[in-house]
A and B are shown apart, each in its own frame.
Chain A
Amino acid sequence: MTMKLTELAVGDKATIVDMSGCSRMIQKRLTQLGIDDCAEVCVQNKLPFGGPCFIQCENQCISIRKKDAMSIEVCQESVI
């Protein structure tokens, strides 16, 4: 089941399914950083009042605005 990246709780891990909803610049930068479809990300922190959210991927931490995080679709593997 897919959901928005912002719907994940802090500390949750998920796999990116689709990020074509982001603005082109953000998409370009994220791919450059190795954050692309199928990448596994972890939400590390969310700032209040709609502030940026911190995502971790492959040993690096990146912050993006909530608006952009909202347009990233992720999928959380069901815990068995």
Chain B
Amino acid sequence: MIALLGNPNTGKTSLFNALTDSYEYVGNWSGVTVDKKVGNLRKGGELVDLPGVYSLNPVSKDETVVSTFLIEGNFDSLINIVDASQLNRSLHLTIQLLEFGCPFIVGLNMADVAQTRGIKIDVEKMANFLQVPVRSIVARKKQGIDELEADLINIKKQQEHGQVILYAKPLEALIQKLEGILPLDLPINKRWAAIQYIDDNPVVKAEIQKYMNDETMNEIVNEHMTRENITEEQLRRLIRQGREKYIHNLIAEVVNDQQSGEKSSTEKIDKFVTHPVLGIPTFIALMYLMFMLTFNWLGFPISDLLEGVISGPITTGLEAGLTFIGASAFLESMILDGIVAGVGGVLVFVPQIFILFFFISLLEDSGYMARVATVMDRLMQVMGLNGKAFIPMIIGFGCNVPGVMAARTIEQPRERLITILLTPLMSCSARLPVYALFAGAFFAQQQAFVVLSLYILGVVLALLMAKLLSKSMLKSEESFFIMELPPYRIPQPLTLWRSTWEKGKGFLRKAGTYIFAGSVIIWLLTYTGPGGIGVEMNDSFLAAIGGWFSPLFAPLGFGTWQASAALITGFLAKEIVVATMAILYVVPEASMHLALSEAFTPIAAYSFMVFILIYVPCLATVAVIKKETDSMKLTLFSMAYAFILAYGLSFLIYQVGTIWFAG
């Protein structure tokens, strides 16, 4: 097994995708990959993609994954991705790998960026200096990939005992002392472990404690510090300085830097999007643009067209076909009233969902995410959160599951937890069909406005809840924020399409599995009842089940068995709400809009949409919350608070609204 290791945002995942022909999540900010991902190399063997780290000494949770992975040692060799345009910074990690002493090669990525900046690196000299093979690559254009692949085969023949980089006297003496007392059976390089111990690496400390009581080590360090009259801080600085000296020598030998001092386009764009006054308006304008294109200007007409095709030619075609083969009434009803109505009702919204995903991918790959996080940090601080919480939230507009995962880059545990709990309030693409359906039926004139109000409601509720939760939960640690702003990169059309497709694929897959199966089951439950097969819908099993719950929802304005049935199925995946509705309100020769408007009043419809927005995260989101928080209690809490909030708010909207409009 080979693993990819390198600084954040240097193109590790891009290389991973090129080498394994897979498609993992790529984005232009630090902390896109938050967990290890395994893929199969084209030439055989496995490749692991890891989160980016600056050092083997972790700060946040995703970084701990890497240190732990390295210490566990379940790999044969590494590829260290080094950013050629940020050589100085990247090499600190390379040195730690040299000291660690595992076989690895260096992939010098972003060679194109370095070239435009006028940085020339002599790859051969660099390989000689490091005593490690070095390859210059451009991961996202797949340049140099074949050569790197060839190197991978020879990688194992390398030395394994680690290079010794000498540090300044007082530090060097301490390293050697500690190295001497580390137990022989410690399975990692002792010199490396000693250096990391002095550098206060929590993962290494924990590992050492498994083999010995580190009391003695502590004593030695303390004694050494008093004797040499040196502080812990100074020791750490000496480690850095030692490495810096090494890097300085390397750069002097292999780099020919002729950087021009002219302003990059990144700076020009940043003048605008992070402008003290225009920053937030720019963000809101961008969101508005994305929203209008999805729902109004572009997405809506296309979806409308598609609906015409599905309910027109496709349905009549199938009908004719079924009659032709002489299908039974049961089969015909199952296919037309169940599958076509249910799955088709959801598929209609595919264009809109793809447009939304396209914009989210665009935001991810351009480099804007890090700017949003910074621009929003002040506001989020007031709410007891961190600007970085905005990244999971924006991703959450696409799908809550990766949104919840993305919260891992938030270093502070309490802020991370709150972000995880609140990301489900972001209106994901699965809820989009519900809004589109209801807004189209009840608020045709103000369709976009009504849907927009729901998105905003989600964000506002999340912010208010953040305030509430951060006030009531223990203030454990101090909040902090630091973010790198990567240079803007013009997204490549192919990458953009792949990343849109990857997201959209999930939706299509759901349509083919969950929603398909759900539609069949729901149809079956409407077709059968206590009275037998082919009963009136109102006497069906589904009516009985829904009817059992409906009194609960009556005060919210939608106490029908149909609405209750849709809500129950919606827990599996929110799109199923629409599939269910499409099956339940299927009326031949009449539009579903009409059938809906008989079942709901406009206020009840709005109340229903609000309820759908908030009521419970879908099954997949609940599962990921459980995994990320590792606490059943918090998972249950995330469901309970959402339900209570949804109930309260819908109640308020319906009751106040009814009185308001009646009077």
- Chain A interface residues toward B at CB < 8 A: 20, 23, 25-26, 28-34, 36-37, 44-52, 54, 58-65, 68
Q: B274 to A60, Cβ gap below 8 A?
A: no
Check if A47 sits within 8 Å of B375, measured CB to CB: yes
**Once the chains bind, are B378 and A47 in contact (CB under 8 Å)?**
yes
Are the C-beta atoms of B480 and A52 separated by less than 8 Å? no
Residues of chain B within 8 A of A44, CB atoms compared: 267, 270
CB contacts (< 8 Å) of A54 on chain B: these are 270, 274, 374, 485
What chain B residues lie within 8 Å of A48 (beta carbons)? Answer: 276-277
Contact yes or no, B240 A36, CB < 8 A:
yes
Supply 10 further A-B pairs (C-beta < 8 A) apart from A44-B270, A51-B377, A52-B483: A20-B233, A29-B54, A34-B88, A47-B378, A52-B378, A58-B89, A60-B86, A63-B483, A64-B481, A65-B481
In the assembled complex, B482 has its CB within 8 A of some CB on chain A: yes
CB-based nearest B residue for A64: B482
Measured CB to CB, the nearest residue on chain B to A36 is: B240
CB-CB < 8 A to B536: which residues of A?
none
Q: Give bound CA distance, A60 to B10, whole Å.
A: 13
CA distance A35 to B221 in the complex (A): 27
Instruction: From A23, A47, A68, give the contact of B274 (CB < 8 A).
Output: A47
Q: Contact at B54–A32, with CB atoms within 8 Å?
A: yes
Encode B479-494 as 1/0 by CB contact (under 8 A) with A: 0111111000000000
Instruction: Determine the chain B residues whose CB is within 8 A of the CB of A23 once the complex forms.
Output: 478, 480
Total number of residue pairs linking A and B with CB closer than 8 Å: 96
In the complex with contacts A34-B89, A58-B89, A26-B482 CB distance below 8 A: yes
B365 CB–A CB distance under 8 Å:
no
The B contact surface, by secondary structure, is helix
The reply to whether the CB of B559 lies closer than 8 angstroms to some CB of chain A is: no
B107: interface (CB < 8 Å): no
Interface 1/0s, chain B 369-386, versus A by CB < 8 A? 010001101100100000
Determine if B540 is an interface residue (Cβ-Cβ < 8 Å). Answer: no
- Could you tell me the distance in whole angstroms from the C-beta of A36 to the nearest C-beta in chain B? 7
Contacts of B92 in A (CB 8 A): 32, 34
| Cβ-defined contact, B411 with A59, below 8 A | no
> Residues of A contacting B267 with CB < 8 Å?
44
Q: How far is the CB of A30 from chain B (nearest CB, A)?
A: 7
22 sampled A-B residue pairs with Cβ under 8 A: A25-B411, A29-B54, A29-B59, A32-B92, A33-B89, A33-B484, A34-B88, A34-B89, A34-B92, A36-B240, A37-B237, A45-B274, A47-B374, A47-B378, A52-B374, A54-B274, A54-B485, A59-B86, A62-B484, A63-B483, A65-B480, A68-B480
CB distance from A10 to the nearest CB of B (A): 9
Contact of A33 among B54, B259, B270, B276 (CB under 8 A): B54
**Which of A30, A49, A54, A59 has the most B CB atoms < 10 Å from its CB?**
A59
Q: Mark B263-297, 1 if CB is under 8 A from A, else 0.
A: 00011001100101101000000000000000000
Q: Tell whether, in the assembled complex, residue A63 and residue B482 are in contact, meaning their CB atoms are under 8 Å apart.
A: yes
Chain B positions within 8 Å of A33 at CB level: 54, 89, 484
Closest 4 CB pairs between A and B? A51-B378, A32-B54, A63-B374, A61-B485
> Is B361 at the interface (CB under 8 A from chain A)?
no
B518 is an interface residue with CB less than 8 A from chain A: no
CA distance A60 to B270 in the complex (A): 13
B482 & A60 in contact (Cβ 8 Å cutoff): no
CA distance A35 to B480 in the complex (A): 17
Restricting to B473-511, which residues have a CB under 8 Å from any CB of A? Answer: 478, 480-485
Interface status of B85 (Cβ within 8 A of chain A): yes
Question: How far apart sit A44 and B374, CA to CA, in the bound complex (Å)?
Answer: 13
Task: Produce 1/0 per residue, B86-98, CB < 8 A to A.
Answer: 1011001000000
Q: Are B86 and A29 touching (Cβ within 8 A)?
A: no
Task: Please tell me if B387 contacts chain A, counting CB pairs below 8 Å.
Answer: yes
Query: Counting CB contacts under 8 A, is B55 at the interface?
Result: yes
B279 CB contacts on chain A under 8 angstroms: 47
Set of chain B residues within 8 Å of A47, measured between Cβ atoms? 274, 276, 279, 374-375, 378
Contacts of A64 in B (CB 8 A): 481-482
Using CB atoms, name the residue of chain A closest to B386.
A65
Partner of A62, one of B259, B277, B483: B483
